[in-house]
């Protein structure tokens, strides 16, 4: 059987298909990157990318029109025939609707008409017949080409994966039930892995939930048929872009890359690069390249402090035992909590983590898009509990009794909008009113006196589901989280000002919007009295609006008097960040700060009274209004071996990877590192379910 090479005609069509695919990906990616160009008109990132997409396509349509009206048909560029008498208006409109696909639709129709015309003409008997493959053979060749192309793409370029577990929740969903809270209307996922894919052999039905917004819990509420479980996110993984810190990556599990003919692929976030020492402390990540761990270093008994394996393929290993078997009982080649690492961390902590990375530990600061992808809801004020409101529970947002002059809520029991009038400065505050006594949620008849102001913790509704009526997976969800993000819509009239303020430990952090400017500030929470003693007060310290020694930086805000703007203020990873209408404000590198000495010295009890009384505040003077209030927290990374500090060395040629849902993740903290040879690639895009479509951060 002879093989006939594809003709130039066929190859040109293949090139056109490749051009269409690349052009589509480029346009979609560009539109997604520009999704905030026009603000937030549609309320969803995918919909907001439509206008930039059309903007990117417009020059191409104009170019296509110029070609058409000058008689240069695009079909000829891909070796396809052109129908006679074709209107350039029709061609331009078709290209605008279908893009490069119109070229193939139009060319295919013209090709069919030409073939019919050719077959109707009689040919001289002496003329040699032109070679033209049969339609069936041409179809087979096309299918074979497409199959080979797909296999090559899967092997070297991109591959699709399904997320099975909740270790990356809520960045990525595994098996879950999507719950709409009957009390407040907040929608959230609950882990259903033990129901859909049980690890212990016996399925455990996910029967109930605890809402992360209003904390209503129902042990049997998830049994409703409308809350059937669904599989995890479908993601596309790039195999050629390389990986960097902060990327969500897919790799083969080093201890068992394949089990019973099934690939054991894991998906985590890459947090440690080769030759770094990574520290986990109070939910944050730190890194240094100062430590080298020489192989000839010995302890008092002459044993190597930093052993090396006989086989370098075992450099990733750490002692590990899962629920089925002991995986490894040998040395820990991450040198977890090595004395010189913990000593250097304490030295760096006392100095405020200000030394260069090759001299000491530095705080790892997430980029803005990653921060927003990893934030978790604390409270959405537009979704209050119906039952708690009826029972007379205090709203979480309300004017501070001694400092709320000028603020008026639209509803005393469940306010969603607050207006301010008068020249005197007044404050609203948020209090985290949740059940006490070690309980995460309330159920049945609401008892308002059961709710008390408490520090904000790393509670995650995904982990708080009920399996067969029993609530599980609650360990580690009581850790104080001081890194917060505050969102609201604000309107300020001429001469007025609005302030967003967040507390963390001994200090408060502020974004002041005043006269077209935004200032960021940092100042102590406890004022000092005449006797030199610090005073804990329930009202914010009196720090005037305007430039003063507490100001870190000032920039143009772009706020217009009398116009509603969406404002966001974040105090995360030792960096203050401000967004106005989804546009990040550039403070010229002056928004980073070192943890205050008082916080560094009192790490055993890191929160202060302010973190309970007023973790978030909104202040105003003049005429102003705020609505759409929502408070978020940063993702909290759990320690594995100690309560406060863990350190790990990342061997050369390896990576340290962890799950965003670290309290429920089996990752590099337990079993070790990921060798470069087992790294499959970077997870780029969620393509299903459709309401989750988007790039992964």
Residues 178-237 have pLDDT tens digits of 999 999 999 999 999 888 877 666 788 899 999 999 999 999 988 887 788 888 899 988
Selected residue with higher pLDDT from 68 and 508? 508
Q: What pLDDT score does 674 carry?
A: 96
Band of pLDDT at residue 43, cut at 50, 70 and 90: low
Q: What is the largest CA-CA distance in the chain?
A: 117
Domain assignment present for residue 335? The answer is no
Band of pLDDT at residue 529, cut at 50, 70 and 90: very low
Token pair of 534 as six digits = 């610090």
Are 397 and 430 contacting, i.e. CB atoms less than 8 angstroms apart? yes
Q: What pLDDT score does 160 carry?
A: 80
Tens digit of pLDDT for each residue in 561-574? 999 999 999 999 99
Domain assignment present for residue 317? The answer is no
User: What value does the mean pLDDT of the chain take?
Assistant: 82
Domain assignment present for residue 273? The answer is no
Give me the helices (H) in 203-354, please: 339-350
Tens digit of pLDDT for each residue in 365-402? 999 999 999 999 999 999 999 999 999 999 999 999 87
Last residue of a domain, one of 633, 668, 688: 633
The Cβ of residue 392 has, within 10 Å, a number of other Cβ atoms equal to 10
Q: What pLDDT score does 532 carry?
A: 43
Domain assignment present for residue 78? The answer is yes
Q: What pLDDT score does 1 carry?
A: 42
Q: What pLDDT score does 186 carry?
A: 96
Domain assignment present for residue 562? The answer is yes
Please give the DSSP secondary-structure letter assigned to residue 155: I
Domain coverage including residue 537:
397-430+482-633
Q: How far apart (Å, rounded) are the C-alpha atoms in residues 17 and 259?
A: 38
Sequence-separated contacts (24+) of 34-37 with Cβ below 8 Å = 36/581, 36/582, 36/583
Q: What pLDDT score does 260 carry?
A: 61
Band of pLDDT at residue 79, cut at 50, 70 and 90: very low
Q: What pLDDT score does 642 carry?
A: 72
Last residue of a domain, one of 119, 152, 167: 119
Tens digit of pLDDT for each residue in 392-442? 999 999 999 878 889 999 999 999 999 999 888 899 999 999 988 777 888
pLDDT at 606 over 60: yes
CA atoms lying within 13 Å on the CB side of residue 9 = 9
Picking from 40-44, 178-182, 637-641, which range would have the lowest pLDDT averaged per residue? 40-44
Last residue of a domain, one of 608, 633, 658: 633
Domain assignment present for residue 43? The answer is yes
Domain assignment present for residue 549? The answer is yes
Tens digit of pLDDT for each residue in 82-91? 555 566 667 6
Region of 688 (left: φ > 0; alpha: ψ -120 to 50; beta: rest) is beta
**Per-residue pLDDT averaged across 39-63, rounded?**
68
Q: What pLDDT score does 377 carry?
A: 97
Domain assignment present for residue 298? The answer is no
Tens digit of pLDDT for each residue in 463-493? 999 988 787 767 778 899 999 999 999 999 9
Picking from 234-243, 257-266, 494-503, 553-562, which range would have the lowest pLDDT averaged per residue? 257-266
Picking from 318-322, 517-521, 602-606, which range would have the lowest pLDDT averaged per residue? 602-606
Band of pLDDT at residue 144, cut at 50, 70 and 90: low
Helix (H, G, I), strand (E, B) or coil at 48: helix
Q: Which residue has the tokens 């009206």?
A: 69
Selected residue with higher pLDDT from 600 and 253? 253
Return the CATH number at 570: 2.60.120.560
Claim: this prediction has a pTM higher than 0.85: no
Tens digit of pLDDT for each residue in 7-29? 555 555 555 556 556 666 667 76
Q: How far apart (Å, rounded) are the C-alpha atoms in residues 177 and 231?
A: 9
How many domains in the chain? Answer: 2
**Per-residue pLDDT averaged across 281-290, rounded?**
95
Q: What pLDDT score does 475 carry?
A: 74
Band of pLDDT at residue 446, cut at 50, 70 and 90: low
Band of pLDDT at residue 533, cut at 50, 70 and 90: very low
Q: H/E element holding 190?
A: strand 187-191
């Amino acid at each position: 059987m002879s093989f006939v090479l594809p003709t130039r005609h066929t190859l040109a069509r293949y090139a056109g298909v490749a051009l269409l695919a690349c052009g589509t990906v480029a346009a979609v990616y560009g539109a997604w990157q520009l999704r905030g160009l026009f603000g937030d008109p549609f309320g969803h990132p995918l919909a907001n990318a439509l206008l930039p997409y059309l903007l990117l396509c417009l020059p191409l349509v104009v170019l296509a029109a110029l070609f058409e009206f000058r008689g240069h048909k695009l079909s000829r560029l891909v070796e396809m025939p052109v129908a006679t008498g074709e209107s350039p208006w029709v061609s331009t409109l078709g290209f605008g609707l279908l893009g490069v696909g119109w070229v193939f639709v139009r060319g295919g129709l013209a090709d069919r008409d030409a073939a019919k015309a050719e077959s109707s003409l009689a040919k001289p008997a002496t003329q040699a017949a032109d070679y033209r493959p049969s339609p069936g053979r041409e179809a087979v060749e096309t299918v074979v080409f497409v199959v080979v192309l797909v296999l090559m793409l899967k092997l070297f370029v991109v591959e699709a994966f399904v997320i099975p577990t909740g270790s990356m929740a809520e960045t990525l969903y595994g098996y879950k039930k999507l719950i709409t809270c009957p009390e407040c209307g907040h929608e959230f996922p609950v882990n259903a892995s033990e129901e859909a894919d049980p690890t212990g052999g016996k399925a455990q039905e996910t029967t109930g939930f605890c809402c992360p917004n209003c904390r209503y819990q129902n042990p049997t509420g998830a049994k409703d048929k409308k809350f059937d479980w669904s599989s995890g996110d479908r993601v596309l993984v790039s195999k050629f872009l390389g990986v960097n810190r902060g990327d969500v990556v897919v790799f083969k599990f080093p201890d068992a890359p394949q089990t019973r003919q099934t690939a054991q692929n894991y998906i985590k976030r890459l947090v440690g690069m080769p030759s770094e020492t990574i520290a986990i402390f109070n939910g944050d990540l730190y890194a240094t390249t100062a430590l080298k761990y020489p192989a000839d270093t010995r302890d008092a008994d002459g044993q190597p402090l930093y052993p090396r394996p006989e086989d370098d393929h075992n450099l990733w290993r750490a002692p590990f035992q899962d629920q089925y078997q002991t995986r490894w009982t040998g040395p820990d080649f991450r040198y977890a909590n090595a004395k010189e690492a913990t000593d250097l961390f304490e030295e760096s902590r006392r100095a405020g983590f200000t030394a260069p990375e090759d001299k000491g530990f530095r705080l790892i600061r997430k980029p803005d898009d990653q921060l927003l992808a990893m934030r978790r809801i604390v409270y959405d004020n537009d979704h209050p509990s119906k039952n708690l409101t009826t029972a007379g529970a205090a709203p979480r947002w309300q004017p501070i009794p001694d400092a709320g002059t000028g603020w008026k809520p639209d509803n005393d029991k469940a306010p969603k909008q607050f207006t301010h009038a008068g020249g005197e400065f007044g404050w609203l505050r948020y209090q985290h009113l949740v059940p006490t006594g070690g309980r995460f949620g309330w159920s049945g008849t609401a008892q308002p006196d059961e709710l008390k102001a408490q520090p904000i913790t790393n509670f995650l509704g995904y982990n708080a589901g009920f399996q067969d009526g029993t609530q599980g997976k609650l360990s580690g969800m009581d850790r104080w989280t001081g890194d917060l993000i505050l969102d609201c819509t604000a309107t300020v009239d001429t001469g007025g000002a609005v302030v967003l303020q967040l507390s963390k430990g001994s200090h408060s952090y502020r974004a002041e919007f005043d006269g077209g400017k935004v200032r960021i500030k940092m100042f102590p929470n406890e004022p000092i009295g005449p006797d030199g003693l610090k005073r804990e007060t329930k009202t914010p310290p009196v720090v005037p609006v305007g430039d003063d020694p507490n100001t870190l930086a000032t920039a143009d805000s772009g706020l217009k008097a009398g116009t509603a703007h969406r404002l966001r203020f974040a105090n995360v990873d030792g960096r203050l960040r401000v967004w106005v209408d989804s546009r990040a404000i550039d403070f010229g590198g002056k928004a980073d700060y070192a943890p205050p000495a008082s916080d560094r010295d009192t790490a055993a009890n890191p929160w202060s009274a302010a973190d309970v009384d007023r973790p978030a505040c909104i202040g105003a003077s003049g005429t102003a209004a705020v609505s759409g209030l929502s408070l978020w927290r940063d993702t909290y990374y759990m320690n594995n071996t100690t309560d406060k500090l863990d350190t790990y060395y990342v061997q050369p040629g390896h990576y340290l990877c962890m799950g965003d849902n670290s309290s429920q993740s089996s990752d590099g903290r337990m079993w070790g590192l990921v060798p470069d040879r087992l790294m499959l690639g970077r997870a780029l895009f969620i393509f299903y379910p459709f309401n989750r479509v988007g790039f992964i951060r």
